[in-house]
Amino acid sequence: MTIKEIQEEIIDEFSMFDDWMQRYEYMIELGKSLPLIAEQYKTDDNLIKGCQSKVWVHAELDGDKLVFTADSDAIITKGIIAILVRTFSNQKPQDIIDADVEFIDEIGLKEHLSPTRANGLVSMIKQLKLYAVAYQTQLK
């Protein structure tokens, strides 16, 4: 599936819910399906700055695709990073670089997109894209 298709699938899933509580509960559920980062990568170097809770992300190439694993000590943050990892993992670095994240707005999590928000969704997106840029250079 392309990034766009995955995003549409997520939008579709969230459209079933009519209030914030159900959306958050689903996000927490999604957090449980997050491909967890191996303990050895849970280092300060892999911590994303700008989050009130801890978020670790690791990336590695599988052929020409980038695979992300992550974890967080806060469950809502874990749900957010799970949504991002589901969108961007197993994609080509260039596609990750080119992707937009407007779907966040459509699934009712727009409030998390503010750059001043302490959970650092913006920092998380930036970090995933930075990995993509780094590996894109390596692929070349």
Applying CB under 8 A, the residues found at the interface with other proteins are: 20-21, 24-25, 28, 52-54, 73-77, 118-119
* Residue with smaller CB distance to other proteins, 86 or 112: 112
Which residue among the candidates 3, 27, 51, 83 is catalytic per the annotation?
51
Give the phi and the psi of residue 60 in degrees, each rounded to 5. Answer: -150, 155
**Residue among 28 and 113 whose Cβ is closer to other proteins:** 28
Identify which of residues 17 and 24 has a Cβ nearer to other proteins in the complex: 24
Q: Minimum distance from CB of 52 to other proteins (Å)?
A: 5
User: Token digits for 54?
Assistant: 């801890």
Residue 127 Cβ vs other proteins, minimum distance, rounded to whole Å: 18
* Nearest-approach distance from CB 86 to other proteins, in angstroms: 20
Compute the least distance from the CB of residue 85 to other proteins, in Å.
Answer: 19
Q: Are 56 and 42 in contact (CB under 8 A)?
A: yes
Confirm whether 32 is a catalytic residue: no
Q: Does residue 10 contact residue 26 with C-beta atoms inside 8 Å?
A: no
Which alpha helices (DSSP H) does the chain contain, by range?
Answer: 3-14, 20-32, 75-88, 93-98, 103-106, 121-139
Residue 8 CB-density burial (10 A; 0-12 exposed, 13-18 middle, 19+ buried): middle
Closer CB to other proteins, residue 65 or residue 117?
Answer: 117
Residues catalogued as catalytic: 51
